[in-house]
Structure 1
Amino acid sequence: MSETPLQAAAPRDSSGPRPGLRERNKARTRHAIRSAAMSLFEKQGYAATTVAQIADAADVSHTTFFRYFQSKEQVVLSDDLDDVRDELMRSIEPGLGRFDLVRRLITELYRAGSDDEWASNPDRFRLIQTEPALVTAQQTQADQALIEMRGFIADYLGVPADGLGLRVFIAASAGVLFHVVGHTGDGEIPTLEECLEALDLLEAGLPV
């Protein structure tokens, strides 16, 4: 997201048009708020840091903070890559089976997310894994992402989104990626190879 492999974001196309001045200014403000927040979290802890302190350290008003982030949790959890994530999913060619489709999603989104400085920030990932409030908030966000992903996979495969088979498949895949690979508890970002190996074991019937 920490993005799990299913939530990891694709990078923006560096060959595309340069963002306008307004977009660049917004990006600088987001970066300033995130940098100030991470610095404060490191110095005094996540729980002890307030929105007011973050805004003051980033040299923005309280109102400006909430214009960019809904909460302190979202400073850490959110990214700016929803549009490119959607575009990447739209670009997947038809005809893949369910496991190959998930492999493609994992591979493309993971590699792309690794190219994004904020999405792949190891301090951010470690904070999300270890701070109780963020663990809870991230799980809620992951559950919503799974609902959206289920709709995409259902449309791609041409099956009902509420069908038991698809729901079990998504739950099993997510369980492998979220809990076996993505939540080892050591604060390390899982590798793409670990994600794909875990999915291979699921497809093979979970040999031990």
Structure 2
Amino acid sequence: MAATTRPSPGDALATSQPRPGLRERKKLKTRIAIRRATYRLIAEQGYEATTVEQIAEAAEVSPSTVFRYFPTKEDIVLTDDYDPIMESELRARPADEDPLESLRKVLTQSLATFIQEERDEVVQRTRLMVEVPAVRARMTETMSTTSELLVRALADRTGRDHDDLEVRVLTAAVLGALREVMLYWAARDHEDDLIELVDHGLSTIQNGLRL
């Protein structure tokens, strides 16, 4: 049977953003190659046994190139190219839509695309979040970058300042719920429907904890 080629995050990015120049496309291609090499090596020999030098060799780049794109090994596991997509989609949501509903739509649609295109990567990433404390700790740090992008987009849509407390709190609550849902999903061997779990988690923020 002939192998099929799945779309990559780069393909999704290209459909939602203006086509980048040659230099940016080369950078994206390199980032994807490094990530895929990392996940392949981790699947074969485990997280701790996988070194940056091995990753560089598998991705056919130098170790310095790996570090130029990803400051730590944890960043290779956690970084993807969906943040610009989510920011763009959030800005495109209807102006009169409830902010929490806008975030719900953007997150669930982005996750659905990610799972469809890169399910194995999502499963491996979330498993490492549960099993490797360094990955879990770094995840909390890297989420701050996503938060800043979404805060700016949400603030602009609602006519508020970028440092508005309510906007920051809402965004942080949503991303915190997403983090816990991902850990819960992985801890249960990825048996549940992730999108339904995310939707349930955001409904908890909206409705509160029912007694």
TM range (shorter): 0.7 to 0.9
CA distance in 1, matches of 2:148, 2:198: 20
Specify the alignment match of 2:155 in structure 1.
154
Superposition pairs of residues 112-151 of structure 1, within 5 angstroms: 112-117=113-118, 121-151=122-152
Deviation at 1:162, TM superposition (A): 4.0
Specify the alignment match of 2:199 in structure 1.
196
Is the CA contact 1:10–1:85 (under 8 Å) kept in the aligned structure 2? Answer: no
Specify the alignment match of 1:206 in structure 2.
209
* Percent identity (aligned): 34
Is the CA contact 1:11–1:116 (under 8 Å) kept in the aligned structure 2? Answer: no
Unaligned runs of 5+ in 1: 1-7
Deviation at 1:67, TM superposition (A): 4.2
| Residue type of the alignment partner of 2:100 | F
Distance change (3 Å), C-alpha of 1:161 and 1:69: closer
Question: Secondary structure of the equivalent of 2:127?
Answer: helix
Distance change (3 Å), C-alpha of 1:57 and 1:177: closer
Q: Normalising by structure 2, report the TM-score.
A: 0.73
CA distance in 2, matches of 1:15, 1:169: 25
Deviation at 1:20, TM superposition (A): 7.7
Q: Normalising by structure 1, report the TM-score.
A: 0.74
Question: Secondary structure of the equivalent of 2:118?
Answer: coil
CA distance in 2, matches of 1:153, 1:61: 39
Distance change (3 Å), C-alpha of 1:170 and 1:75: closer
CA distance in 1, matches of 2:167, 2:26: 43
- Which range moves more in the overlay, 97-106 or 16-25? 16-25
Is the CA contact 1:150–1:167 (under 8 Å) kept in the aligned structure 2? Answer: yes
Deviation at 1:121, TM superposition (A): 3.1
| Residue type of the alignment partner of 1:132 | P
- Which range moves more in the overlay, 112-121 or 56-65? 112-121
Specify the alignment match of 2:182 in structure 1.
182
| Residue type of the alignment partner of 1:140 | E
- Listed one character per residue, the Cα deviations across residues 180-205 of structure 1 (whole Å, up to 9, x for unaligned) are x2221515386212211222233223
Deviation at 1:27, TM superposition (A): 5.1
| Residue type of the alignment partner of 2:202 | L
Deviation at 1:136, TM superposition (A): 1.0
CA distance in 1, matches of 2:126, 2:75: 13
Question: Secondary structure of the equivalent of 1:11?
Answer: helix
- Listed one character per residue, the Cα deviations across residues 157-190 of structure 1 (whole Å, up to 9, x for unaligned) are 23344444444433443333322x2221515386
- Listed one character per residue, the Cα deviations across residues 34-82 of structure 1 (whole Å, up to 9, x for unaligned) are 3332233234332232211221233322233334433322221112344
Q: Give the structure with the larger helix fraction.
A: 2
Question: Secondary structure of the equivalent of 1:183?
Answer: helix
CA distance in 1, matches of 2:18, 2:99: 35
Is the CA contact 1:32–1:58 (under 8 Å) kept in the aligned structure 2? Answer: yes
- Which range moves more in the overlay, 198-207 or 29-38? 29-38
Distance change (3 Å), C-alpha of 1:190 and 1:143: farther
Deviation at 1:122, TM superposition (A): 1.4
User: RMSD of aligned C-alpha atoms?
Assistant: 3.5
Return the structure number with greater relative CO, CA threshold 8 A, min gap 6. 1
